Amino acid sequence: MAHKSTPASDSRRVPTIEDVARLAGVSTATVSRSLNATGRVREATRKAVESAVRELGYTPNFGGQALALNRTNTVGAIIPTMENAIFARAIQALQETLAAQKVTLLVATSQYLPEREEEQIRALLARGVDGVVLIGNRRASSAYALLNARGVPFVLLWSAPDSSPFVTIGFDNSAAAIDVTTRILKKGHRRIGMISGLTAHNDRADDRVRGVSKALTDNGLELAPQDLVECRYSLAEGEAAAMQLLQRQPRPTAIICGNDVLAAGALRAARALGLVVPGDLSVVGFDDIELATAVFPPLATVRVPHRRMGVAAGEYLLRWIVDGKRPPSLTLPTEFIERASLGNLCDEAAD
Amino acid sequence: MAHKSTPASDSRRVPTIEDVARLAGVSTATVSRSLNATGRVREATRKAVESAVRELGYTPNFGGQALALNRTNTVGAIIPTMENAIFARAIQALQETLAAQKVTLLVATSQYLPEREEEQIRALLARGVDGVVLIGNRRASSAYALLNARGVPFVLLWSAPDSSPFVTIGFDNSAAAIDVTTRILKKGHRRIGMISGLTAHNDRADDRVRGVSKALTDNGLELAPQDLVECRYSLAEGEAAAMQLLQRQPRPTAIICGNDVLAAGALRAARALGLVVPGDLSVVGFDDIELATAVFPPLATVRVPHRRMGVAAGEYLLRWIVDGKRPPSLTLPTEFIERASLGNLCDEAAD
DNA sequence: TTGAAAGCGCTAACAG
DNA sequence: CTGTTAGCGCTTTCAA
């Protein structure tokens, strides 16, 4: 008791709601009500509380609040990597959207490894996140089971609904790839190679390959096994993959890449082989990150709705967390961005 | 009481330590001890607890744990931006280091804005982070005051100790810039321009400018106001800045850039003006991110100890959090990376 | 409009 | 080696 009556002297101690209550001459309940604007509080009281808060520099204790509310105001996102800018814009937008509602974003990376992703899901859940954002819609059911067991709302980005019964906010990778391929065909290209990210656990990569393949088939061509090289999303691997494709005889006149990083690698390979882009070879990327215009020639690519996905993910999740009602999926458009790396084979022939 | 005796029927409820205790036939204290390996527990008991945990799918409640321990096992980092890869590798390394000790990393961005950074510090503190990582060592004292008031350990990355009394883990930006400049001078360049990030609230940028300036002065040259252009760290602004420098008569034979993104922009400007790099113009960057070798010609640049800073930040902070003892600062070496974008003016003259 | 008091789930003395 | 118990700081009935 004697201990309780003099804690104010302990100036180094982080102030609690009780300190505020004491200083304002009210109860802790009133402080809480006043701060959270829940329940009516007389204006004078509110003012008193406010000034006590200011004087003490009070901030609600996170643990206490989380415990009492059974809510952490935290959302977790697991992205494959932070090493390139692919997910940065979406994450940034997500963070801003959440922050506007006083919700913090926890970002983890999976390095494109399913086990690592599941580990991270577990970690986020253990930290009591109120919602989760994942990239892509194909993963082991055990991952979804974790989320469902806790009843934590989650949305999947970067993919279209697919057959998946989950909330998806993204775009149709396959359709986008079909569109790209069709445009390349229209330019007169017939020998087309593709460099893809590893499709094994990556629905986006897989869908893009399918799209290219379908478009070719629909036009009486085909994406033969040797026309497709899979590798990790790095400049060096993209370069090596392009080298491989360009060694073939006759070599492709166009290479479609699973993302802009791979495409930049392909550009480097072309240069190493003394090939001129787009004169000897056309290259198209995917994502439209800043890198696409940093290289030369600038990359024709597919612009993906980075920010809109991030914003929508935040909004959907926040609403879901509050009202408990699962939102519908959302599919956004992509846009083909024409740039110098894609050349017109017909024109050239006419040269 | 009647309520308390049947909660197990409530299968949807997230299990608590009490459920585990009940199922294992022990007390909650024993469960806690067993799980946290604090205090001796008989092997058989431990096994029983373990199986109960597994059966219920129990995970400690974050709020409860945070409240009891007065520790969230969370560290926050505030970086200027996620849009380019500059900080990605360090953050990744930091995250891995922390994760190994079951500590989660919270990443926020400040967009290079001091007010925004302070806001984020406040937010992190409100979330009860146990430690904080910031970039750079110059900021308003109010920012440091926030940290100190809460007594939260924090480290500053990317800079050298400077005059700052805080724990710094980084490198000497000025020395690195001097080194770069000296090398360029050795190559015979005499008209040297510089593109810098905005130095106003950015000690790294400022130190790099100082370094270049000092090296020039020491060699009987100078960095005149019109030889230096400041802009934001984007490709487009870097390009515009380079345009400005290259319009001068006589134009510089070398441009030193505050980072690789700016350098990539300079490369684009050179190309737009029909200048060949390094024949007509040399360009050097800073950071050595992947972009440096994605562009053509590949950028000579300064390799910064990204990963080592991230790892050290994690280790220092963890130790500090645990034992309460402030660690010393750490200054790491940088390395000049010679690549094709830097040409030899003497040789050329000799051609 | 306000206060008293009962938890939220967990840990750490303290006893045994 | 294990159980009892007293909080950690906050929110939220329930009364007044």
pLDDT digits (tens, 9 = 90+) for A101-131: 999 999 999 999 999 999 999 999 999 999 9
Does residue B135 or residue A1 have the better pLDDT? B135
Of the ranges A161-165, A208-212, B98-102, which one carries the lowest mean pLDDT score?
Answer: A161-165
User: Which distant-in-sequence residues (6+ apart) come within 8 Å of A70 by Cβ?
Assistant: B63
| CB-nearest partner of A84 from B85, B109, B150 | B85
Domain boundaries, chain B: 17-69, 74-171+306-333, 173-303
pLDDT of residue B13: 80
pLDDT > 90 fraction of chain A, expressed in percent and rounded: 89
pLDDT of residue B2: 32
pLDDT of residue A144: 95
Mutate to test the interface with B, among A10, A87, A107, A288 (most CBs of B within 10 A): A107
Low-confidence stretches of chain B (pLDDT beneath 70): 1-12, 347-351
Confidence (pTM)? 0.92
The set of strand C positions with any atom below 7 Å of a protein CB reads 1-5, 7-13
pLDDT of residue B12: 66
In whole angstroms, give the CA distance from residue A35 to residue B66.
22
Whole-angstrom CA distances from B113 to B82, B109, B170, B262 are 14, 9, 21, 19
pLDDT of residue B83: 85
pLDDT of residue A4: 36
State the DSSP string of A164-177. --S-EEE--HHHHH
Quick check: A63 and B61 CB within 8 A? no
Measure B221 CA to nearest chain A CA, in Å: 32
All residues of chain A having their beta carbon less than 8 Å from the beta carbon of residue B291 are 291, 294
The 10s digit of each residue's pLDDT in A90-102 is 999 999 999 999 9
- Reduced to 3 states (helix: H, G, I; strand: E, B; else coil), residue B254 is strand
Under 8 Å between Cβ of B160 and B172: yes
Asked if residue A13 keeps its beta carbon closer than 7 A to nucleic acid strand C, the reply is no
Given this chain, do its domains A17-69 and A74-171+306-333 carry the same CATH topology?
A: no
Is B275 at the interface with chain A, CB within 8 A? no
In whole angstroms, give the CA distance from residue A80 to residue A58.
38
Quick check: B63 and A72 CB within 8 A? yes
Q: How far is the CA of B154 from the C1' of C9 (A)?
A: 29
Does residue A238 or residue A150 have the better pLDDT? A238
Candidate CATH numbers 3.30.1490.150, 3.40.190.10, 3.40.50.12280, 3.40.50.2300; the one for domain A74-171+306-333: 3.40.50.2300
- Reduced to 3 states (helix: H, G, I; strand: E, B; else coil), residue B207 is helix
Measure A88 CA to nearest chain B CA, in Å: 6
| CATH 3.40.50.2300, domain B173-303, yes or no | yes
Quick check: B62 and A123 CB within 8 A? no
Mean pLDDT across chain A: 93
In whole angstroms, give the CA distance from residue A197 to residue A201.
10
Nearest 5°: phi and psi at A229?
A: -120, 130
Amino acid residing at B257: C
Q: How far is the CA of B32 from the C1' of C16 (A)?
A: 19
Asked if residue B22 keeps its beta carbon closer than 7 A to nucleic acid strand D, the reply is no
User: Which distant-in-sequence residues (6+ apart) come within 8 Å of B337 by Cβ?
Assistant: B288, B292, B300, B301, B302, B303
Q: How far is the CA of A31 from the C1' of C4 (A)?
A: 14
Residue holding tokens 């972009």? Answer: B291
Mutate to test the interface with B, among A87, A239, A295, A299 (most CBs of B within 10 A): A295
All residues of chain B having their beta carbon less than 8 Å from the beta carbon of residue A59 are 125-126
pLDDT of residue A12: 66
Quick check: B108 and A89 CB within 8 A? no
The 10s digit of each residue's pLDDT in B86-138 is 999 999 999 999 999 999 999 999 999 999 999 999 999 999 999 999 999 99
Asked if residue A8 keeps its beta carbon closer than 7 A to nucleic acid strand D, the reply is no
Measure B123 CA to nearest chain A CA, in Å: 8
Nearest Cα residue in chain A from B268: A294
All residues of chain A having their beta carbon less than 8 Å from the beta carbon of residue B267 are 296
- Reduced to 3 states (helix: H, G, I; strand: E, B; else coil), residue A112 is coil
Question: If pLDDT is split at 50, 70 and 90, which confidence band does A348 have?
Answer: very low
All residues of chain B having their beta carbon less than 8 Å from the beta carbon of residue A150 are 14
pLDDT of residue A10: 46
Burial (CB < 10 A; 0-12, 13-18, 19+), residue B257, is: buried
| CATH 1.10.287.3610, domain B17-69, yes or no | no
Quick check: B294 and A296 CB within 8 A? no
B 296-325 → A contacts, CB under 8 A: 296
Tell me which H or E stretch contains A195.
strand A192-196
Quick check: A234 and B99 CB within 8 A? no
The set of strand D positions with any atom below 7 Å of a protein CB reads 1-5, 7-13
Residue A9 has pLDDT above 60, yes or no: no
Measure B59 CA to nearest chain A CA, in Å: 6
Under 8 Å between Cβ of B289 and B85: yes
Residue holding tokens 């000049």? Answer: B336
Mutate to test the interface with A, among B146, B261, B268, B291 (most CBs of A within 10 A): B291
Measure A295 CA to nearest chain B CA, in Å: 5
Nucleotide nearest to A44 (CA to C1'): C1
Residue holding tokens 């593709």? Answer: A194
In whole angstroms, give the CA distance from residue B30 to residue B32.
5
All residues of chain A having their beta carbon less than 8 Å from the beta carbon of residue B91 are 82
In whole angstroms, give the CA distance from residue A26 to residue B35.
40
